[in-house]
Amino acid sequence: MERVKVGDKEFTISISASHIQQRVADVAAQINQDFKGERPLFLAVLNGSFVFAADLLRHITLPCEISFVRLASYQGTSSTGKVQKLIGLTESLKGRTVIIVEDIIDSGLTMKELLAMVQAEAPKQVRIASLLVKPDNLKVDLDIPYCCFKIPNDFIVGYGLDYDGEGRNLPDIYTVVPDSL
């Protein structure tokens, strides 16, 4: 589908499912190489990262674990910059190699807060894997070694990302058509 309607807005395709799959496999291969001999704990941030995390994990050949956490900070089509607390963390992170799995880093404020909370648990090391990054909108300094796509500062949906709760099921990634905003 070239164009889709999600809620009251029109979206046009920007990254195809096959391109996503190819980049996810590339990033997983990089992680497999960088963490040889380690047993990483992937920390997937719900809801947005559930599709990316599921695909990424199937390409990981290291012994590993995954845990799902939640940290909501976003409503509608612009980032609020407000961050709530971390829920769902049951594993001890002490001494662990932690790879945070995010759907998208926009201002980076959410990730900065999350990193601080994860660091407070005394892990051995923490790395960030994000499906998408909007470099032009980053407001904080973040090292993002594993990123599938750098995208412009437009609102996107699909492949786990929603617009007001809908659109997560789309296999491709779509960008909002500006005049539908």
Catalytic residues: 106
CB 98 within 8 A of CB 75: no
**Residue 130 Cβ, how far from ligand 5GP at the closest point, in Å?**
9
* Interface pick for ligand 5GP out of 28, 43, 99, 109 (rule CB under 6 A): 109
| Binding to Mg ion in span 85-114, by CB under 5 A | 103
For residue 109, the partner it binds in Mg ion, ligand 5GP, none, with Cβ less than 5 to 8 A by kind, is ligand 5GP
CB 116 within 8 A of CB 61: no
Amino acid, res. 87: I
Q: Does 117 interact with ligand 5GP (rule: CB under 6 A)?
A: no
* Interface pick for ligand 5GP out of 86, 100, 110, 174 (rule CB under 6 A): 110
**Residue 53 Cβ, how far from ligand 5GP at the closest point, in Å?**
13
Tokens of residue 76, six digits? 């509608």
Q: How many CB atoms sit inside 10 A of residue 39's CB?
A: 11
Query: Residue 83: which of 96, 93, 92, 74 has the closest Cα?
Result: 74
